Structure formats: C-alpha cells, structure tokens
Structure 1
Amino acid sequence: MSSQPSAAPPMSRRETLEALSGLMLVLFVAMLSGTVVGTALPQIIGALHGTQSQYTWVVTATLLTSTASTPIWGKLADLYDKKRLLQAAIGIFALGSLISGFAQNTEQLIAARAFQGLGVGALQILVQIVIGVMVSPRERGRYFGYIGAVMAVATVGGPLLGGLIVDVSWLGWRWCFFIGVPIAVVAFALLSKTLHVPHIRRANVRIDYLGATLIAAGVSVLLIWVTFVGDSFAWTSWQTGAMVGGGLVLLALAVRVESRAAEPVVPLPIVVRRNTALAIVASLAVGSAMFGGAVFLGQYFQIGRGYSPTEAGLLTIPMMVGVLGSATVVGRLTSRTGRPKAFVVGGTFVLTGGFAVLSTIDHETHLGILSLGMLLIGVGVGASMQNLVLIVQNSVALRELGAASGTITFFRSLGGAIGVSVLGAILANEVKDIITERLAAMGVRGGSGQAAGTLDLSSLPAPVVEIVRAAYGDATGHIFLVSVGLGVVAILASLAIKPVTLRDTLDLVKPPAGAPDADTVPQTAEPAPKV
C-alpha cells in the first residue's frame, strides 16, 4: 500500500480561523436540523395524521442512519480527501432537507429524514476530524468548547425557531426543513474557499462495507423491536425471539468481520483500549439519556402542559444556557489544565442530578423545578460530552484519528438512537395505560387506543383531551427516571477512566499499537502550530 501527501498549500492563520468559522457553521446547521424539529414535531405529526410511534421514528430514523454511517465517514476521512468528503456531506444534507420539506405523509417524512441523517452523521464527525488535523489535542479543548457553544446556540435557537415557524401561518412546518438549505450553501462556499487540509493518498484501500452493513442491520433490527414490543406483540412472543436473536447474531457477525478486515470501520484494537472503551460506555449512557430525554421535552410542554410551540421552545432555554456556559468555560479550562477527566466526572454527576430532578415531574410541576432540572442537564452535557471525544483522540496516532473519532461518535449516536426508541416505547406504553385507567374511571371502555395513538388533539372530545394531556404530563417523569440509571452508568465509567494529560502535538511519536499502554505514550513530536 503506497501513500503520498497531497500538495495542498499550508493554511495561513487567517484561513485557519475562516475555515473554523465554516466548520462551526456546518456543525450549527447539522445540529439545527434536529432541534428545529423538536418543538414542531407535535404539530407536524398532527398535520400528517401520524401516531406516537411515527413521532418517535421521525427522530430515530435520522439518528439511526447518522449512527450507522458515522464510522464509515470516519474511515473514509483517514483514506481520502477530507475537504471533498465534507462538501459531499453538505450536499447530501441539503438534498435530504429539501425532500423532508416536501413530504406528504409520515412514511415519506421518515424516509427523507433517514436520508438526511447520512449527511448529519458525516458533518458531525468530519468537523471533529478536520479540527483534529489542524489543532493539537491540548489546544483542541478550547475549540471543542466552541463546538459545545455552537451546539448550545443551535439547541437554543432550534426549538425557538421551530416554534416560531409553525406558529406563523404564512411559513408553515415545512420551513423547519427548508431553513437549513441556505445555511448549508453558505457553509459550502466558505469551506470551498478557505479549507486546505492535507491528506494522504493511499492506493489499494478497501472500506469494510460488509461490516458496516452488518452493524447497521443489527442495530436497526433491535431498534425496530424496541419500538413495537409491548404494543404490536408481547415481550415473550416469537417475534421478540426472532428480532432480538437476529439482531444479536448480526452484531456478532459484524464483530467477526471487523476483527478480520484489513480496513475495519470500527477498529477493534482501538475500541478495547481501556480509556477508549470506558469513554464509549460513558458516551453510550450520556447519549442515550440526553437524546432520549430531550426529544420528549417539547412534547411534554405542548401536549402535557398545553403550551404553544414557541412557548415550548422558550421553556427549554435553561438547558441550552447550561450547555452554552458549561461547554465554553470547561473547554477553556481543559486547554489550560490539559486534564479532562475531572470535568467528565463532574459533568456526569451534574447530568444525573438533572435527570433525578426531572424524574419527579407531572402535568402540574412548577416551572422552577423544571428549569432547575434542565439547567443541570445542560451543564452536565457541556462539561462531559466533548471531553470524552478528546480523551479518545489523545490516545491515538494522527493516522487513526478519523477511525477513533468515528468510533466514539458512532457509539454516542447509537446511545441516542437507543435512548429515543426505548424511552419513546416506555412513554407510549405508560401513556396508553394511564389513559385506559382514567377513561375506565369515566365509564368509557375501549377508547384508549385512539386517544393514545394520535397527537391531533383537535380530533378528540374535550374531556378526553384533558385526560390525554394529563397522561403525557404524568408519564414523562418515568422516562427521566430511566435516564437516572443511564447517568449512573456514565458516572461509573468516567470514574474508571485513567487520568491523561492532553498532548501539545498533533501526532504521537509512534503508533500506540506498539506501546504497552496507549495512554502513556511519550509525546515528544514536533508541536502543533498555535491558532
């Protein structure tokens, strides 16, 4: 296998800062595509006459495809031109956004969102990889703090923008998807002009598409099972056995294929390293709890409390303020100290505390308690999530950066997809049980299916609407109680991470595979240029 450096000219400081601006804009639009839909989803699903399961799958479809494609994009970034990959990802994202905006029913919307997820997954991982090529791990802490701040702005602005769009009659919900297209076009133009990262051209390389397909198939089967179990079929049914057994077999085959592949999309030697493995466990738990819980907050405020989409977006501001402040401050402190573990441990404790507060809510909980819980969740996410990526990136050579970054992002997104599916299934079943019980108390039998299966409350009688609202408000606390358990897993994993000092160099002296402990390889290579 031969390699040869590209002839890309070195980037000036001004070009570096301009490129970072373009990268932040790309990340912003990718994050916005998910958050802008959050508060608008009840209106969108109601307008398209969808169900609670379809509500969940509009979110899960994007998470699933972005998760499955992330390690492939990460591996491609190790092999091919990162700039062209980033441009292709922007194009996929923009096209998926347009198709989503023109969807005529929930089935079309779910399919379009799945396609859009391919671009979202690429943008999220490629931004981290490109920054990793430009900036050393220690300096990277500061820029990852900026990434966290961008994520916060997108998360703050997204629900507000989504609520405003659906509340303004002359716009309509379709603009929740159209709005990202012009931003993507601007980012494409900016990066085309300013981004000149070097890459290594390698001959005779092959991507392990079989392993990637097996991973995607195995995860998909398990997520589909989680969505329908307890509703369409029983937990102990033959369908459960077939889907769980089939999913586990597919994943076992994926591990076997990956262990033998010359260019695996999820490199097992990286995954089994102590800090990488623990960071993956923590990311799984944080991603599952955070994505799963946050997705249903907009639904809680609108369906459970009766607020408008715009008001629901405004009510989630405490969480976003927490992310913004925490990510910015902790990012700078991480660069200054070079020791990310303390921030990860502290972040997971605060995150779990936030979930504990929200686990007590019902349809009459004081907004002050809700604000406190959301603020704690935001602070915890901002302190822990990007530092987990930094810990993994610090332990690998530059040539493995794409695969390592793709791997941890893959598992974080996988946690998010699992969280949305599992918590969505728990919420749907809990809502149905509460509605059945309360309708029975009113002397109504057999009406719970229609009441629990629709988010179009205007189609229900007024007394039933009140029951449905209370059911959603009371059931939401249960999903945050499950999130507390996931937060405890994240705490235990972060405590077990071996303390590391972030290096000041772009690359290790030698590949960590030959070292007794990848996390203790001396860092005496040439220092990275300051930006």
Structure 2
Amino acid sequence: MSHAEVIQALSGLMLGVFVTILASTIVSNALPRIIADLGGSQSVYTWVITTELLAMTATVPLWGKLADLYHKKLLIQLALGLFGTGSLIAGLAPDVGVLLASRIVQGIGAGGMGALAMIVMAAMIPPRELGRYSGLFGAVFGVATIAGPLIGGVLVDTSWLGWRWCFLIGVPFTLTAIALLQRTLHLPVVRREVTIDWLGALLIMAGVCTLLVWSSLAGHQFAWASWQSAVFVCGGVLLLAVAVWIESRAADPIVPLRIFRNRTLTLAVVASTLVGVAMFGGTVFLSQYFQISLGKSPTVAGLMSLPMVFGVLVSSTVSGQLITRFGRWKAYLVVGSIVMTGSMLLLSTIDADTGMLRLAACMALLGAGVGMLMQNLILAAQNDVPAADLGAATSTLTFFRSMGGAIGVSALGAVLAERVTSLSADRFGAAAAGGGKVPDLSTLPPEVLAVVQEIYGVATADLFLVAAPIAFLAVLAVLFIREKPLSTLTGDERRARESTTGKDPNLNASTF
C-alpha cells in the first residue's frame, strides 16, 4: 500500500480513536458544572471519569482476542456503535446514576476502539514503516486526551449548548467514523475455528474491576488500612489468581501467558501502566486546579491545556518520523520517561499564585514526555512478538495503559480528596469540611474564597508529588528494554511466514 492508501484506510480509525479518547477527558472542565447540577460530591466527580476508564480497561483483553478470531472491521464498527449509544444516553441523563451507567457503555466501546486500532495498523504496516503512522496516532491520542478539556470548557460556557453536549458531540463523530470505516478500510477476513475462554474473560474483568473500585473508594469511603480494603484487595487478587489458573489451562486463552516471557513486552507493559497513571491521573485534575485554585472559567481552563497538547503533538509526530527514517527507537523512550518524571516534579511546586508562563512550560514538558512514550512502547512490543500474538500483545499493552489511567484517576483522586478534606478541616474546622462537596466559588465570600483556592493549589501540588516517583519507575522499565532492528514485513506477511515455517523468520524475540 502507498502512503496515500494507508492514510485513506486509517482515516476512519483515527477519527474513531479521537472521539473515544476525547470522551475520557472532555468532561473534566465540565465536571464542576455537572456535579453542581446533579448534586454530586467530590467522590462522584472522580467516578464520572473512573467508570468509563474502568469499563474500557476491563474489556480490552476480550476485544483483542476477538480481533484474532473475527472480522476486525466489523468489530471496530460494533465498538463505535456501543460508544455512540453510551454518548447519547449520557447527554440525556437525568441524574448521576444514569450518567454513570452510560459511561460504562461508552467505556466498553472505547476499549474496543483502543485495542483494535493498533491491531489493524500492525496487520497492514510493517514495524519499519509503522513509526510515522504510530506518531500520527500518538498525536491524535494526545490531542484528544488533552484538548478534551478545551472543547468541554467552550461547550459549558456556551449558553445555548451546555454540559450535555460534552457527551452528545460524540454521536455525529461516531456515525462519521463508522461510515468512513465502511468505505475506506478493507481487510481480509480470517476465520479460525476456536472457542473463546468466556470464564477467563469474566474472571479477568471481575478481578480488575474489584481492584479499581477499591482504589476509588479507599481513603474516602473507608481507610486504606481497613477491613473493607482487605476484602476488596483479597477478593480482586483471588479472582485474578483463578483467572491465571484458568487461562493457563485454556486451549485458546484470552491473554496467552506465554507472551509475558518476552522481555520487551513485559517491560513495555510496566511502562505503559505508568504512562497511563501520568497521562490521565496528572491531567484530569489540572482542569479542576485551573477553575478552583486559579479561578478561571471552563473555556480559559481549556485554553490553558494547549501547551500540553502542543507538547504531545510535536514530540509524538517528530519521534515517529525519526524512528521511521533511522530505525532507532529506544532513545525516545528513555528521554520521554525522564522528561515526564521531571515535569511531574516541577508541577509538584505549583500553588494558587503560580504564573501562567511557568505552568505552560511545565505542561509542555509533560506533553512532550508522554508523546515520546505512548505509541512507541506499542511499536517496540509489536516488533518483538510473533505475528500470531500481535492481537494479544497489543490489547495487553492497551489494557495495562488504560488500567494505569483508571488507577491514576482513582488513587490520585482519592489523594486529592483526602488532602482537600484535611486542609479544609485545618482551616475551617472538621464540621465545615465534612461534606466533601466541590465548592461553588460564586457563592463564597472573598476571605473564604482565597483560603479555598489556596487549599486546592496545595492539594494539587501534593498530587503531583505522589505521581512523580511513580513516573520515575517508567524510566527504569524502559532502560532495561533491549533495542532491536525494526521488521520490514507487515503483520499479515509475518503471519503467513509463521504458518509455513512454524516461526517468525524476521524476529528473534528477546526473552528473560
């Protein structure tokens, strides 16, 4: 396929990725207004984002398995259909309960889109050429993740639209993406006579959901060291242990355990999880900081995220082009992880009086670091696994990145809520701080407003101080990844060779 043919085939994929990732962050600037309208608390603030990430994370392995068995094009359209349905329900939600349920449907569709997009790319494009296209997808992913708050802010501040359009805007985009995929994406239909390990899939989803629910509630609804925490953690670990036992004995498991013998894939999984924590956990609460601590409107808060958008866009695109040109990729992973960690440390020094120029520089650095890491980790793993495991490997990486995002939003959200409550109790007394409600700044007297803004500034800085050492672990993970030449064969070509020779002649997979 020529470059123009590939771009045409990927147009629907890029639009689908854009709209599904946009849904994860477009509500961040609108959440203070949404929570106020629906009468929610700080914990509900976190759950509106967490439920979508949780559903997306839990279903990614199943989507990846289905991609190895059924028509990828049909699966992508099905995923987008689910996402569009969830978006429509969310836009019409009368209360918090319906809103959270609709976010689950959105998350299931978004999980399919996130897993299947990279699988389709690997099937059509060899790793040696994948850098330039991965860079484009990384840019789309990053822009959608960080531009969401800007679009959400504009919608909230536009009187004839409002926060409901933060969800409804996804419906026309989704329908357009489905139509584009039908017209431009043409893939061979590969049918395999195998069964899906539904029990293993159910156990994996149940275990992951249990642990993510615990990370969301601990520190707020109950103490981290409590019997409730013990029940959640033990239950989640037990479910995952049984899932591993079932998967190890399944004829065709959802996640083949053999892929974790690959050194590159395992280290990329660790790094992807940590990038998810940084990307989602770090950026979601910046919008709240802009609006509450700095007193900005939703639109201005969205505009303030542009430096991060620019950082992701430039670093992802440029690194992808350079990888395709020179065939070297590890340096970008190392530099990206170091820059990401450094930017977290810089953001841990912000407060209610931090200047705009300093904030913009810190956010641009964070965007640049994440942009160099995100898609290039998938590229490194896809280059080092047999083609028969491309679907499982890609969905596993996407799964752990999404899980990192869900954990980041949940755990760091709990840290933020605890710090806000603690600081409020110190300044106003325990009785005044006990409600946990997100404050409505317009109703506060000036002397109280100044204290509230200071509290949210300090709490947000503490959040990044907690996130920085987590991000540093990504540096250690990528340092131990071994760089190897990029393959010049597409996924379909590699699969054909493997089926005739019994192994991938283009790869010599690194193992522990």
TM-score between both structures, scaled by the size of structure 1:
0.91
Provide the C-alpha distance between the structure 1 equivalents of 2:156 and 2:46, rounded to a whole number of angstroms. Answer: 19
2:317 maps to amino acid:
T
Pairing partner for 2:428 from 439, 442, 445: 439
Q: Secondary structure at the match of 2:350?
A: coil
Pairs within 5 Å for 1:40-439: 40-203=30-193, 205-439=194-428
Provide the C-alpha distance between the structure 2 equivalents of 1:298 and 1:166, rounded to a whole number of angstroms. Answer: 13
Q: Percent same amino acid among aligned pairs?
A: 52
8 Å CA contact 1:16, 1:195 repeated in 2:
no
* 2:489 corresponds to: 505
* 1:520 corresponds to: 508
Deviation at 1:483?
1.4
Provide the C-alpha distance between the structure 2 equivalents of 1:375 and 1:12, rounded to a whole number of angstroms. Answer: 34
1:170 maps to amino acid:
W
User: What do residues 239-270 of structure 1 show as CA deviations (whole Å, max 9, x unaligned)?
Assistant: 12211111111111111112111222222111
Q: Secondary structure at the match of 2:27?
A: helix
8 Å CA contact 1:144, 1:331 repeated in 2:
yes
User: What do residues 264-323 of structure 1 show as CA deviations (whole Å, max 9, x unaligned)?
Assistant: 222211123111110111111111122111110101101111100000001111111000
1:447–1:495 distance in 2 versus 1, CA, 3 Å:
same
Deviation at 1:389?
0.3
User: What do residues 57-76 of structure 1 show as CA deviations (whole Å, max 9, x unaligned)?
Assistant: 11111111111111111110
Deviation at 1:462?
5.4
1:339–1:506 distance in 2 versus 1, CA, 3 Å:
same
Pairing partner for 2:9 from 19, 43, 47: 19
Provide the C-alpha distance between the structure 1 equivalents of 2:489 and 2:419, rounded to a whole number of angstroms. Answer: 52
Pairing partner for 2:450 from 433, 456, 466: 466
Pairing partner for 2:468 from 484, 487, 491: 484
Deviation at 1:93?
0.7
Deviation at 1:469?
2.4
User: What do residues 396-435 of structure 1 show as CA deviations (whole Å, max 9, x unaligned)?
Assistant: 2323211110011101111111111110000000000000
Q: Which runs of 5+ in 2 are unaligned?
A: none
Q: Secondary structure at the match of 2:214?
A: helix
Q: Secondary structure at the match of 2:12?
A: helix
* 1:526 corresponds to: none
Provide the C-alpha distance between the structure 1 equivalents of 2:457 and 2:304, rounded to a whole number of angstroms. Answer: 15
2:201 maps to amino acid:
A
Deviation at 1:211?
1.7
Q: Secondary structure at the match of 1:472?
A: helix
Deviation at 1:453?
2.5
1:150 maps to amino acid:
V
Provide the C-alpha distance between the structure 2 equivalents of 1:278 and 1:56, rounded to a whole number of angstroms. Answer: 29
Q: Secondary structure at the match of 1:231?
A: coil
Q: Secondary structure at the match of 1:217?
A: helix
Deviation at 1:463?
4.3
Provide the C-alpha distance between the structure 2 equivalents of 1:76 and 1:318, rounded to a whole number of angstroms. Answer: 38
8 Å CA contact 1:436, 1:447 repeated in 2:
yes
* 1:7 corresponds to: none
User: What do residues 145-188 of structure 1 show as CA deviations (whole Å, max 9, x unaligned)?
Assistant: 11122223324542221111100111011000011111111111
Provide the C-alpha distance between the structure 2 equivalents of 1:117 and 1:237, rounded to a whole number of angstroms. Answer: 30
Mean Cα deviation higher: 154-163 or 453-462: 453-462
Q: Secondary structure at the match of 1:505?
A: coil
Provide the C-alpha distance between the structure 1 equivalents of 2:85 and 2:110, rounded to a whole number of angstroms. Answer: 12
8 Å CA contact 1:80, 1:200 repeated in 2:
yes
2:59 maps to amino acid:
S
8 Å CA contact 1:286, 1:486 repeated in 2:
no
Aligned residues: 506
Q: Secondary structure at the match of 2:216?
A: helix
Q: Which runs of 5+ in 1 are unaligned?
A: 1-10, 523-531
User: What do residues 476-528 of structure 1 show as CA deviations (whole Å, max 9, x unaligned)?
Assistant: 011111111111100000000011111111144548x9879996259xxxxxx
Q: Secondary structure at the match of 1:278?
A: helix
CA RMSD between the two structures: 2.2
8 Å CA contact 1:350, 1:376 repeated in 2:
yes
* 1:36 corresponds to: 26
1:365 maps to amino acid:
T
1:465–1:217 distance in 2 versus 1, CA, 3 Å:
farther
8 Å CA contact 2:147, 2:305 repeated in 1:
no
User: What do residues 102-129 of structure 1 show as CA deviations (whole Å, max 9, x unaligned)?
Assistant: 1112222111111100111111111111
Q: Secondary structure at the match of 2:191?
A: strand
8 Å CA contact 2:420, 2:459 repeated in 1:
yes
* 1:6 corresponds to: none
2:464 maps to amino acid:
F
Provide the C-alpha distance between the structure 1 equivalents of 2:236 and 2:509, rounded to a whole number of angstroms. Answer: 38
Q: Secondary structure at the match of 2:222?
A: coil
Q: Does residue 448 of structure 2 align to residue 448 of structure 1?
A: no
Provide the C-alpha distance between the structure 2 equivalents of 1:518 and 1:49, rounded to a whole number of angstroms. Answer: 58
8 Å CA contact 1:363, 1:470 repeated in 2:
yes
Q: Secondary structure at the match of 1:453?
A: coil
Provide the C-alpha distance between the structure 1 equivalents of 2:506 and 2:448, rounded to a whole number of angstroms. Answer: 60
Deviation at 1:15?
4.8
8 Å CA contact 1:515, 1:521 repeated in 2:
no
Provide the C-alpha distance between the structure 1 equivalents of 2:340 and 2:18, rounded to a whole number of angstroms. Answer: 23
